[in-house]
Chains A and B, each alone.
Chain A
């Protein structure tokens, strides 16, 4: 029986998602300003 630790998976995916999405938003905002 595998250990019950799915919440660590959810936490890791949320953290990775927030970092990648946050950086994407930062680049998109800077990119849109640079295009004007």
Chain B
């Protein structure tokens, strides 16, 4: 197969289109949250942060980090560079979603809990996950040799996956301020229909945003890898 960098162009274009569509969707979710959903009596307008915070958290914790971990496991087994490229793209995107979770959470927490931050199990473990994702990217930037970089970063990617059950169960294992799940739980969702519909649309839109970001990031890395291969040939 030839190492022609232009092979990455369709992937990059697809990623750009998906990202732009998803960003329009995010704006629509914000509008829906402000205009369509009812104002929660006890929390007021600040409760509407929920429609950005929760889908971002669900995509980071239930999609981006698990996909990074699974691609890392498969990479260690199959040594396919596409898996390493995908894991790296997914980890970078996961860190962006995590950053949104870790900034919108305290802005919601301040008016409701009376504090920006508390060392609650859920918050602390999410912060650890964010640091782990930053470490993943630092490690990748520090190692030049592709096989070694892929192997070492895969181990960190799997460690992120291991953290996920603890983050999910943290609200049950330790007493803290963070509320228990209202949708992702064994019983029916405990939300009024307008809130539930907006939240479900949010899950769909943020999932498309994740796919758009990862496709674009993957395409960029693919172009770089192909260029390096072409230069080496």
| A contact residues vs B (CB 8 Å cutoff) | 2-6, 8-9, 11-13, 15-17, 19-21, 23-24, 27-28, 30-31, 34-35
Contacts and interface: CB of A to CB of B under 8 A. Distances in A.
Contacts of B111: 3, 5, 8
For the complex, would chain B's binding face be called helix, strand, loop or mixed by DSSP majority? helix
B203 to A, nearest CB: 15
Interface of B: 5-6, 8-9, 12-13, 15-16, 19-20, 23, 26, 30, 34, 39-46, 48-49, 52-53, 56, 96, 99-100, 103-104, 107-108, 110-111, 209, 213, 216-217, 219-220, 223-224
B52 A16 contact: yes
B100 A3 contact: no
Most chain B beta carbons < 10 A, residue from A12, A17, A19: A12
A9 B216 CA distance: 30
A3 B104 contact: no
B96 A23 contact: yes
